[in-house]
Amino acid sequence: MGFVIAVDGPAASGKGTIAVKLGQLYGLPVLDSGLLYRAVGVKVLAEGGDLADAAAATAAARSLESAELESPTVRTRGAGEAASRVAVHTPVREALRDYQRAFAAQEPGAVIDGRDIGTVIAPDAPAKLYITATPQARADRRWKQLIGQGEAVSFEEILADIRTRDARDEARADSPMVAAPDAVLLDTTEMTIDAAFDAARRIVEAARSRWETAKG
């Protein structure tokens, strides 16, 4: 395995931005695994299906094409909720697993952000981060972002979204959102994105030194 950096954590923790910046720093390809689940949710809804219907969601996951990840719809608030709902179905997770594992297997490595990267997709990743922040801090970031995009939504609605999504992602039986035992926790509540990236970079640098020593 190359130098794989697993970046897990809840919605709006800063993990996506940190993953992209780590990719730039180390010259590694970056996969936002949440986009896969978002695209599945969006597809089920576009086809008039029910997010609770495992068979419909699995068919959507199996027929997913890369162009579907590029659609601006996958970045909306509704897509995040739909993603979390299709993500509870084991056959959906299985349908997306090989793609993510192949991404992780690239040389010289990869950065992947998600919920189960350090636990299920790449349990042997040499560097694992678990990025958190309080629900209030995350809701505030997400709210400002959505307001900036012109979505009319209140802070309370976003906070409720985040709490519902955390609870569902933590409680699901298959690959729940949880820090891997060997992940380094980074709480970004009081940090600017620059400070959070700096802290992440230091954690990854330490992991990289250990990985290089172990490789010999």
The residue ranges that bind ligand DC (CB under 6 A) are: 11, 33-34, 37-38, 80, 83-84, 87, 114-116, 165, 169
> In whole angstroms, what separates CA 2 from the centre of its chain?
20
What residues are paired with 3 via a beta bridge? 109
Closer residue to ligand DC (CB): 23 or 114: 114
Name which of 82 and 184 has its Cβ closer to ligand DC. 82
Q: Which residue's structure tokens are 């609605």?
A: 157
**Whether 18 contacts 3, CB under 8 Å:** no
CB of 7 to ligand DC, least distance (A): 10
- The Cα 1–Cα 215 span in angstroms is 11
91 burial (CB, 10 Å; 0-12 / 13-18 / 19+) is middle
- Residue 170 vs 205, nearer CB to ligand DC: 170
Interatomic CA distance for residues 29 and 103, integer angstroms: 9
When computed from its CA atoms, the radius of gyration of the chain, rounded to whole angstroms, is: 17
Nearer residue to ligand DC within complex by CB, 11 or 95: 11
Q: First CA to last CA across the chain, in angstroms?
A: 14
Residue 66: how many other CB atoms lie within 10 Å: 8
We find the least distance from the C-beta atom of residue 48 to ligand DC, in angstroms, to be: 21
Q: How far is the CB of 87 from ligand DC (least distance, A)?
A: 3
CB of 74 to ligand DC, least distance (A): 8
Q: Report in angstroms how near the CB of residue 18 gets to ligand DC at its nearest.
A: 12
- Strands (E) in the chain, as ranges, are 3-8, 30-32, 109-114, 127-132, 184-187
- Rounded CA-CA distance 153/126 in Å is 40
Nearer to ligand DC, 1 or 69 (CB): 69
Closer Cβ to ligand DC, 164 or 209, answer by number = 164
Q: What is the smallest separation between the CB atom of 89 and ligand DC, expressed in angstroms? A: 10
